[in-house]
Structure 1
Amino acid sequence: MASNTNTNNHSSSTPKVDGYKLNQLIGKGSYGQVFRAEKLGSTDSYAIKCIPLKSLSKNSRNNIISEIAILKNLKHDFIVQMLDFQWDKAFVYLVFEFCAGGELASIIRLRRSFPEEIVQHFLQQLASAMKYLRENNVVHLDLKPQNILITGIQFVRLLNSLQSFNIWRHVILKIADFGFAQYLDSNESIDSLRGSPLYMAPEIFKRQKYDARADLWSIGIILFECLFGRTPLHGMSTAQITQSFRNDQFKINLPVDAISQICYELLKGLLKVDPEKRISFSNFFSHPFIDLEHMPTKESFQKASDILKTGEEQESSGNFKSAFYHFREALLYLMPIYRWGVPSQPTSKSKHKELQSIIVKYMDKAEDLQQKCGLVNISPKMLKQIQSVYNMIDRARDLESKDLHSKSLEKYEIAIEKTFDMLGCLDSKLKGEFFGELQDWITEAEKVKEKIDTEKKEFESSKTIKSADVESEPIVAEDAVKLFATESNPKPDWYLKLKEPSKSNLNAHSKLKHIEIVQKNDELQNPREPSCFVQ
């Protein structure tokens, strides 16, 4: 809770925060110093940024107000949380959770570089935080290793185990210092100079208008530094960097042979000097190197369990190929949990061993099914494509069970088209087996289409609504009569709702009945659409 502590006449050199004891200085953030602190009557540690008001310009004060406003609304596993803020005549105090592992910058200096697997784990966490920021229209504008803190492990323990691969499963990264952050919609841009030179996007250097994509450049620089132990612009002055960016032919040199192709492609996309050619946020979040879909989270284990259950059902029914792909998909969720654990959820040795047993069990089952179905020589890329088709068919059947026929048909059509595309890449035996399943899916899709056609005919025969028809029905707010798709809008499932008109409408149109047309979809059963009156 924010509070004004201006009854204490502190000098500008001796910050004092009500309810806390300041201990050692642990760093500097934008505009102020950061102290490790303890809450009075407790041994819990906090980090408190003390910002002297005397030295602040009007713009700096506005930035602090903006930082507080933004941080009050942010809560995410990979963003440092602000817990409180106070102020007095001399200082503004921002109270944060304490991150015992220190800055990522310190670890990079000591370790120099990281294996690609660890970097992927780091980037996955940062991408998750960035996705959350974009969903909340926040742009950070000062992303760098100094503003990425480590929690989950003490710095001293980390320092003593830098070369141990297993130590990194305990590391949780958190984005900190929102002193330059702003609310910025996806279609907005600004032109103020913000950031740190080695991590600042070229468009900011060139004093051009820029947008949220500036953060993607900074992420690219951080990725480069984690992989190679230095920034790509290391040793260059601000003037040299500016001059380089003004050269239209300038590009960052990437060590092609030192990293995997998939990592190289992501790095190249992030470090495009022209923001129009830079990777988009949507492509960044869906990039296979990051693989947010299979990131170890609280929900991942439940997803894996549901997929395994479906796989077991498919195996019991003799659908061995489908069972194989379900087991394989479940393992893609389970393996990262086993490797890295779930953030903020310590795993006991017994739970870790239990998870290992589950993984081994289904790896063996998947291997047996792979050989039984003749899938041994299929590439991992093709396996992923086949799995996506089975997932699409599962989704189509689920939509069909909910009477969402148009959406179901759409999923069937996509899956069938993908299957036709894959058939040419399979050997004759596997092609024959898939062709049999393809015929079954086409039959299912045709049945769905027949239902849509029947509904359409029913609608066409009764689409003229007269006042007598409406008035003859009881007007009950929750009653609904299905209004089927039209030729111009064949996909949605529409409903005609009959409701009592408001008093004002009754006075003006005593003979009218109020009709609402609403749409049913997955997210909301009956969201409101424009209503009309009929006579």
Structure 2
Amino acid sequence: MAGPGWGPPRLDGFILTERLGSGTYATVYKAYAKKDTREVVAIKCVAKKSLNKASVENLLTEIEILKGIRHPHIVQLKDFQWDSDNIYLIMEFCAGGDLSRFIHTRRILPEKVARVFMQQLASALQFLHERNISHLDLKPQNILLSSLEKPHLKLADFGFAQHMSPWDEKHVLRGSPLYMAPEMVCQRQYDARVDLWSVGVILYEALFGQPPFASRSFLELEEKIRSNRVIELPLRPPLSRDCRDLLQRLLERDPSRRISFQDFFTHPWVDLEHMPSRESLARAVSRPTGMWRNKGMCGDVLSAPFGGEKTALVVEAVKKDQEGDPAAALSLYCKALDFFVPALHYEVDAQRKEAIKAKVGQYMSRAEELKVVISSSNEALLRQGTSARDLLREMARDKPRLLAALEVASAAMAKEEEASGDQDALDLYQQSLGELLLLLAGEPPGRRRELLHTEVQNLMARAEYLKEQVKMRESRWEAETLDKEGLSESVRSSCTLQ
């Protein structure tokens, strides 16, 4: 075997070539299997003489954890071997390098690209969390990309990972200071929630180009970590409200106030349920048994049988459409599109992909027609309800809180009339309804309560309708930007140097 500085070691069955990177006790090489397949792998070589007790434990932990894991966003351990000098971990090869390099070559990532990556990381963390495994060293350098042409995140380097129940506390300092949770550094007492802090730092770096505690010296870094100051988010680039909300909840210094794992997985910006995956199409068309029998809006394009107990969203949408219930039909079409559009990321058969695109276009066109119908109906109801609304305002003169909430609702209606005001209008509707529902609960029986109840129902219907419009517009944008290679084109077009 060649020694250090003399090139890669020799390993039966493989040809080791370029060095991909090195860590505290390991060096990683690109390698080719000598078999006919010439499979490309990454081989992590650990020199036995470099191992102390702690690093032996880390290595054994990594092997134990990885050998039992199969997940599309976690690097696969294919095998491990050893000889008199080294221990070898034969890993899945990720040609795209690590996320740190990906971010730094682009300076910052657009929010839409960061969101797709965050969904993939959240998917891996959910898988680990369900098995009580904490990574404890989450950072961009430990997140690899399958390729640059069609990048998928792969969580790697489990040397610090631990089987950790949520109530466990550890006292060993682990990880990298820039990405460590404050409780890890300050108290040396922590639990699984440290991974959520690290996720927040990674997302912050992806969106703003550097981690929140970026410093010129370790002393400056330590001071920032130990500070009690709230982490402020830069105003530029502009981000969606959901994205900012998630960042602030992840970067909560107090772990007891930090977002929980469950709330993270279900947060509207992460929205794992609608994450692009190979199951997206099955979720959209799942039905009791068999294949689509009817043509038209349902079509026979999705001909592979998908199991499941749920009634197909599209079938229900068509049914409600035929029954003359446009609001219910529109809602169901929008829910179906939430699954159909992500399915385009993963469909590889060109004919099926084009057929799915055609169906997406068809459902969107019908949804637009229903939107016109509902909008006209809403306008009619708005006109009909004007007198009742004016009467409610008159009866609210002695109730400043009620009057103020009704004014916010009026501002929402005005904003809804603007061409690009849907999101602002939706925020105002939600703000108004939050207050009105509280007031309704405490309102005594009588005419004012009846009018308030009717107004709340009308506002909720308008807010729900508006929410569907925002989601449908996002689905249309995503469908239009996807090409034959799925995410790769949206990454290439969005990730230009800023």
Normalised by the length of structure 2, the TM-score is 0.69
Match for 1:295: what amino acid?
A: M
Name the structure 1 match of 2:314: 308
Higher strand share: 1
Which of 455, 460, 477 matches 1:424? 455
Name segments (4+ residues, structure 1) moved above 4 Å: 9-14, 375-383, 420-423, 428-431
- Measured after TM superposition, the shift of residue 73 of structure 1 is 1.2
- Measured after TM superposition, the shift of residue 38 of structure 1 is 0.7
Once residues 30 and 349 of structure 1 are traced to their aligned partners in structure 2, the CA distance between those partners, rounded to angstroms, is 46
Q: How does 1:225-244 map to 2 (within 5 A)?
A: 225-244=205-224
Match for 2:319: what amino acid?
A: E
Q: Give the match's secondary structure for 1:253.
A: coil
Q: Give the match's secondary structure for 2:49.
A: coil
Once residues 192 and 76 of structure 2 are traced to their aligned partners in structure 1, the CA distance between those partners, rounded to angstroms, is 22
Once residues 52 and 356 of structure 1 are traced to their aligned partners in structure 2, the CA distance between those partners, rounded to angstroms, is 52
Q: Is 1:270 aligned with 2:301?
A: no
Relative distance call for 1:235 and 1:315 in structure 2 (3 A) is same
- Measured after TM superposition, the shift of residue 272 of structure 1 is 1.1
- Measured after TM superposition, the shift of residue 375 of structure 1 is 5.4
Q: Is 1:284 aligned with 2:264?
A: yes
Name the % identity: 39
Which of 52, 58, 74 matches 2:53? 58
Once residues 317 and 71 of structure 2 are traced to their aligned partners in structure 1, the CA distance between those partners, rounded to angstroms, is 33
Q: How does 1:377-392 map to 2 (within 5 A)?
A: none
Q: Is 1:254 aligned with 2:249?
A: no
Once residues 10 and 182 of structure 1 are traced to their aligned partners in structure 2, the CA distance between those partners, rounded to angstroms, is 34
Once residues 265 and 88 of structure 2 are traced to their aligned partners in structure 1, the CA distance between those partners, rounded to angstroms, is 34
Runs of 5+ consecutive residues of structure 1 not aligned to the other structure: 1-8, 159-169, 386-419, 435-535
Name the structure 1 match of 2:124: 129
Whether the 8 Å CA contact 1:85–1:94 is kept in 2: the answer is yes
Q: Is 1:23 aligned with 2:29?
A: no
Q: Output one character per residue of 1:25-62: Cα deviation in whole Å (capped at 9) or x when no partner.
A: 11124520000001112321000000111011101101
Relative distance call for 1:421 and 1:62 in structure 2 (3 A) is farther
Q: How does 1:127-526 map to 2 (within 5 A)?
A: 127-151=122-146, 153=147, 155=148, 170-247=150-227, 249-256=228-235, 258-305=238-285, 306-338=312-344, 341-342=345-346, 347-373=348-374, 374=377, 424-427=455-458
Name the structure 1 match of 2:63: 68
Whether the 8 Å CA contact 1:184–1:211 is kept in 2: the answer is yes
Once residues 264 and 128 of structure 2 are traced to their aligned partners in structure 1, the CA distance between those partners, rounded to angstroms, is 14
Name the structure 1 match of 2:402: none
Relative distance call for 1:321 and 1:176 in structure 2 (3 A) is same
Q: How does 1:52-131 map to 2 (within 5 A)?
A: 52-131=47-126
Once residues 198 and 245 of structure 2 are traced to their aligned partners in structure 1, the CA distance between those partners, rounded to angstroms, is 16
Runs of 5+ consecutive residues of structure 2 not aligned to the other structure: 286-311, 380-412, 417-421, 430-450, 466-498
Whether the 8 Å CA contact 2:99–2:140 is kept in 1: the answer is yes
Whether the 8 Å CA contact 1:53–1:92 is kept in 2: the answer is yes
Relative distance call for 1:236 and 1:203 in structure 2 (3 A) is farther
CA RMSD, Structure 1 to Structure 2 (Å): 2.8
Once residues 264 and 319 of structure 2 are traced to their aligned partners in structure 1, the CA distance between those partners, rounded to angstroms, is 35
- Measured after TM superposition, the shift of residue 131 of structure 1 is 0.5
- Measured after TM superposition, the shift of residue 316 of structure 1 is 2.7
Q: Which one has a bigger Cα radius of gyration?
A: 1
Whether the 8 Å CA contact 1:307–1:330 is kept in 2: the answer is yes
Higher helix share: 2
Q: Give the match's secondary structure for 1:425.
A: helix
Q: Give the match's secondary structure for 1:35.
A: strand
Q: Give the match's secondary structure for 1:188.
A: coil
Whether the 8 Å CA contact 1:12–1:90 is kept in 2: the answer is no
Whether the 8 Å CA contact 1:294–1:300 is kept in 2: the answer is yes
Relative distance call for 1:422 and 1:290 in structure 2 (3 A) is farther
Normalised by the length of structure 1, the TM-score is 0.64
- Aligned residue pairs total 369
Name the structure 2 match of 1:475: none
Once residues 422 and 98 of structure 1 are traced to their aligned partners in structure 2, the CA distance between those partners, rounded to angstroms, is 60
Once residues 375 and 18 of structure 1 are traced to their aligned partners in structure 2, the CA distance between those partners, rounded to angstroms, is 73
Relative distance call for 1:77 and 1:428 in structure 2 (3 A) is closer
Once residues 67 and 290 of structure 1 are traced to their aligned partners in structure 2, the CA distance between those partners, rounded to angstroms, is 28
